[in-house]
Every structure is written in structure tokens, then in C-alpha cells.
Amino acid sequence: MRSPSNRLPYVDNLRWSMILLVLGVHAAIPYSHIGPWYVYDPRPPSPIETHLFLAFEATAQAFFMGFLFFLAGVFAPAACDRRGIGGFVRERLVRLGVPTLGFMLVVQPLIICYLMRIWPRGFWHGFLTIYLPSKYFPSGSGPMWFALALLIFSLIYALARRLGVAIRPPLPASAAGLAALGLLIAVLAFLVRWVQPIGTSVLNMQLCYFVQYVVLFWIGIAAARQGALDRIPEWRPWMGWALALGVPASWLALSAIAGIGRGDWSYLGNGTWQSAVHAVWESLVCVIVCVALLALYRKHVNDAAPFSRFLSANAFGVYVFHTPILVALTVLMNGEDWSAGTKFVITFVATTLLSFAFVHFVARRAPGLRRVM
């Protein structure tokens, strides 16, 4: 079946929803002290806050970035059909490569100099003598690692099209097939984490998660070609209850089994049995949540209302520019004696509002930025 040539409103709505979840996770890290980030709040979270933050971040990480790669894969075939292979490559280089390079050359150095304040001799000295000649520049993509990885995936897809390689991985057509897909991702992720545990990266790419990203991107392409989105099960109210109760319950079970609730970090990798259990949990949550969200949004969030179009049009720009806004807000609130949870909520809401305002009123109206936003 030919891939869809028109935008699907519910898929666009899923895209901006996942980007909002990205902002939520990034807003949590400075206050949870869990995960790599630019700055951290000096006040450590309470034990209860730590457990809540960890549950939120781990559950989101189980599916949100992989889902973004899947959604990107869904529209890749139609974009390549419409523009041709050469046009597709040029468009990807402009829409993904240029913002990534701009972030690495402009946004990242500005954050390091003026918000992290670790270049005491000023911007140009730090930029020319510390940043550019060192490993910090090729690793300086920040959250734009996603755009860089997606660019690489897209170029490989274009090359496959040029060589006439058919991309038709078998798509799961039943609950057993979905479970098998989750277990396949889990096994491969476990093997990768034997040498690249969670928390490590290569040039800012956390390879511990890339099995999921690669698999879901190619499944998105195949799903578009084979019309698989039309075969997603109908949303039923019980699915919402199952997600709302089942995912937290599964996390609590994982925490108890693998010792996460007791501060045991063995689940991060290195071939431990805890890592294997975590990989299975993560991959099954990914598959189940992604399918459920596709069903939910297709039935209930399948509109192109003005507000939805506004969010969709500005979502990628928000992804590009939210980091300095979030870091600045974190620095501003460092002196406030509020709980970590309170600061997280304020930071997330303020970052979301300011980022959308900046992208809509400034970035997308600037001649040099309009084309890539």
C-alpha cells in the first residue's frame, strides 16, 4: 500500500505531545539529579521526590524518544516520494542538519559561557581555545542529538531507496507479535548495555537506547508503506485504565525485583540480571504504550483545530530552543527554598509557555530561521 501523502492530524498531535513530554523530562532532571544535564538545583530532592522523579523519567524514557523516531519514520516514505531522493536528502540536511549545527555553534557555547559560567576568560576565548578544538564541540549537540540521529537514519533510508533495497520488516499483527517485538528489542538492548550501560554516551549519543530508536524508525517506514496504521486496534476505555494502573504497577514490581527502590543501580547494564529484567520491562512498556497512544489519539485527538495546528507548527522549534530557556529558569530559581516538585512544575510550565512564545513570535518570523523551523 502506498504511504499517506497527507498529514494525519492524530500523528501530528502525537508528535507535539511527545515533545512536551521531552520538556517535562528535561525540566525534571535538574531537580531529580537523575540523568545528565547542564545545571542542577543545589537542594537535593527528598527520598519520596527521588522515587517519583525516577518513576516518571524511567517510564517516559521507555517510549517517548523511540515513539518520536517511529513517527518520523511514518512520514519518511511520503516525503521521499514527493520530493525525490535528492530533494528528500536536501530537505533533511536543511531541516535537521542546519539546526543541529546552529545549536552546536551558537546555543551550546552560549549556555556554557553565560549560564553555566565555566569560561572565566569570556566567550570568545572559551569558544575558540576550549570548545572548538576539543571533544566538547562534536559532543555539543545537547538535545539536538535526536535531530542528528534522525538525519543519519534518513540518509541511510535515502541510500537504501537509491540502491533499490526494499524495507519490509515483518510487522506484528497480534498481541503475541507485539510481545515478540518487545522481547527482541529487550534482548538487543541488554547486549548493547553490556558495553554501553545507561548513563554513558558516545558523542552525546546514548547508544544504550539506540536499539529501540533504530527498530521503531524502520517499523514506522514499513507501517506507512503497508498501511499498518489503519489496522491499529480501536481505542476502548478499558485500555486507559489498563495503562493508568498497569504501567505504575509494573514499575513498582520492577523496582522491588531489581532493587531500584533500595538504590541498587545494577539495572543500568554490564550484563547483570537486573539489566535484563529492566530491558524487558522497558521494551514491553514501549510497545504497549505506543500502540495504545496511537489508538487513543486516532479516536479522540484526531483533529486539526487551530490550537492543535499552532502546537504542531511550533513543536520542532520548541524542541530546538527550549534548552537555554529551561537552563536560565533553573539558574534563576536556584536560590528559592521551594521543594523540588514545586520547582519542577514551575520550570516545566514556564519553559513551555516561553518556548512556544519565542518560536512563534521570534524564531519563525526571522528570515534566517523560518526555513528550518
Count Cα atoms within 13 angstroms, Cβ side, for 118: 10
Digitized pLDDT (tens) for each residue of the chain, 373 residues in all: 344 445 789 999 999 999 999 999 999 999 999 999 999 999 999 999 999 999 999 999 999 999 999 999 999 999 999 999 999 999 999 999 999 999 999 999 999 999 998 998 999 999 999 999 988 899 999 999 999 999 999 999 999 999 988 777 778 878 899 999 999 999 999 999 999 999 999 999 999 999 999 999 999 999 999 889 988 989 998 999 999 999 999 999 999 999 998 889 999 999 999 999 999 999 999 999 999 999 999 999 999 899 999 999 999 999 999 999 999 999 999 989 999 999 999 999 999 999 999 999 999 999 878 778 7
3-state secondary structure of 343: helix
* H or E element that contains 183: helix 175-195
Which one-letter amino acid corresponds to residue 92? R
Give, in degrees to the nearest 5, the angle at Cα 123 between 119 and 126.
50
Q: How far apart are the first and last CA of the chain?
A: 31
Residue with the three cell numbers 523551523: 373
- CA 338, CA 321: separation in Å to the nearest integer? 26
Which one-letter amino acid corresponds to residue 120? P
Structure-block grid coordinates of residue 94: 536543511
- For the chain, what are the domain ranges? 9-370
- CA 36, CA 29: separation in Å to the nearest integer? 8
CA 291 to chain centre: 17
Amino acid 200: pLDDT:
95
Give, in degrees to the nearest 5, the angle at Cα 101 between 7 and 14.
25
Amino acid 2: pLDDT:
40
Amino acid 188: pLDDT:
98
Amino acid 3: pLDDT:
45
Which one-letter amino acid corresponds to residue 264? D
Mention every residue, 6+ apart, whose C-beta is less than 8 A from residue 184: 215
Residue pair 225/168 in contact (Cβ under 8 Å)? The answer is yes
Residue pair 223/171 in contact (Cβ under 8 Å)? The answer is yes
